[in-house]
A = this chain, B = another copy of it.
Amino acid sequence: MTIDMENMVAYVNGALDKYLPVKDNFQKNIYEAMRYSLLASGKRIRPILAFAAAEILDVPREEIKPFACAIEMIHTYSLIHDDLPAMDNDDLRRGRPTCHKQFNEALAILAGDGLLNKAFEIMSQNIKDMNGVLAMNKIAEMSGSEGMIGGQVVDLESEGHSVSGEILQHMYRCKTGALLKAPILAAVALSCGNKLTDEAKYLIHYGEIIGVAFQVKDDILDVEGNTEVLGKAVGRDVKEKKSTMVTLYGMEYCKQLLERLTAEAIADCEYFGNKGDFLKELAIYLLKRDK
């Protein structure tokens, strides 16, 4: 294994802490709220994917770092806004009160805005050349209204009634898949710009597969998971009458699908030789995770 998981999480946390330090000025409260949510114990899958892809593509860790951390900031802002009373109305996230519960709704809205904005501040501050611009653009696309935000809208509108498999797949690709693909796309852009090598193509395919698998696993955990371990409420999908892969195709099918997707992701890694070991282990880790 070329990258150690626990070390990587610590490395990401250190970098996030540096990119968003404590401030003691008139608006210090927004920094407190932003840091509260950002520095809660996340899995850091997205930045870790960025570092793993960068290593395979020989992109220096320092170069991918601002993009990796920006994606985690975007992920965190989306959780803050998703948890708001007008959205999913959740009280618990990453094992702690959600941002609006800990502070208040107005500050949570602004903290979310602040994190999205900060992501682009940090990226634009650290761009060295046009490949960096492309990396940032790919991230912006993946997090936008044709990516993650688009998926959230479809999710929102699917509540309370069943949706077709086509819409559900589209929703998964956008809502979860896009921001899990973003770290790979960023690493690829930094490495070879718009001219995709075979290595880059395999990596992107891996990212796409992992993105779908991640959401299928989330659906399974919403039924079979444990609130204490997950750090968030379970059983929400059934309660809110949400269509998920589990409600649409059944638990057994989903577990088989997850196995199949994981095997496919692992097969992609063969192309990278020994360098692909970490991504293989990551795929298995994501298959087996209980949170």
Residues of A near any B CB (own CB < 8 A): 26-27, 29-31, 34, 77-78, 81, 84, 86-87, 104-107, 109-110, 112-114, 116-118, 120-121, 124-125, 127, 129-130, 132-133, 136-137, 140-141, 143-146, 149-154, 156-157, 167, 170-171, 174
Known interface pairs A81-B109, A109-B81, A133-B127. Does A149 touch B114 (Cβ–Cβ under 8 Å)?
yes
Question: Which of B106, B113, B127, B150 is within 8 Å of A86, CB to CB?
Answer: B106
Question: Which of B84, B129, B132, B141 is within 8 Å of A109, CB to CB?
Answer: B84
Say whether chain A's binding surface is mostly helix, strand, loop, or mixed.
helix
For A149, the chain B residues whose CB sits under 8 A away are 27, 30, 110, 113-114, 117
Shortest distance from the beta carbon of A231 to any chain B beta carbon, whole Å: 23
Q: Are B137 and A109 in contact (CB under 8 A)?
A: no
Copies held by the complex: 2
Question: Which of B112, B117, B153 is within 8 Å of A144, CB to CB?
Answer: B117
Q: Are A120 and B140 in contact (CB under 8 A)?
A: yes
A104 to B153, CA, bound (A): 12
Q: Are B27 and A150 in contact (CB under 8 A)?
A: yes
Q: Who on chain B is nearest to A122 by CB?
A: B140
Q: Nearest 8 pairs between A and B by C-beta?
A: A86-B105, A124-B137, A27-B150, A121-B140, A117-B144, A114-B145, A30-B153, A27-B153
A174 to B114, CA, bound (A): 14
Q: Are B167 and A26 in contact (CB under 8 A)?
A: yes
Q: Are B118 and A144 in contact (CB under 8 A)?
A: yes
Q: Are B144 and A114 in contact (CB under 8 A)?
A: yes
Shortest distance from the beta carbon of A65 to any chain B beta carbon, whole Å: 17
Known interface pairs A81-B109, A153-B110. Does A26 touch B170 (Cβ–Cβ under 8 Å)?
yes
Known interface pairs A118-B145, A137-B121, A144-B121. Does A153 touch B113 (Cβ–Cβ under 8 Å)?
no
Question: Which of B34, B117, B150 is within 8 Å of A26, CB to CB?
Answer: B150
20 inter-chain pairs at a CB distance below 8 angstroms, sorted by A residue, are: A26-B170, A27-B146, A27-B151, A30-B153, A31-B145, A86-B104, A86-B106, A87-B106, A87-B109, A109-B109, A110-B152, A110-B153, A110-B156, A116-B117, A117-B145, A117-B149, A124-B137, A124-B140, A127-B133, A129-B130
Q: Are A107 and B153 in contact (CB under 8 A)?
A: yes
Q: Are B86 and A109 in contact (CB under 8 A)?
A: yes
For A141, the chain B residues whose CB sits under 8 A away are 121
Q: Who on chain B is nearest to A114 by CB?
A: B145
For A130, the chain B residues whose CB sits under 8 A away are 127, 129
- Extra inter-chain contacts (20) besides given A27-B150, A34-B145, CB under 8 Å: A26-B170, A26-B171, A27-B145, A29-B153, A30-B153, A31-B145, A78-B113, A81-B113, A84-B86, A86-B105, A86-B106, A87-B109, A106-B156, A107-B156, A109-B109, A110-B156, A114-B149, A117-B140, A117-B144, A117-B149
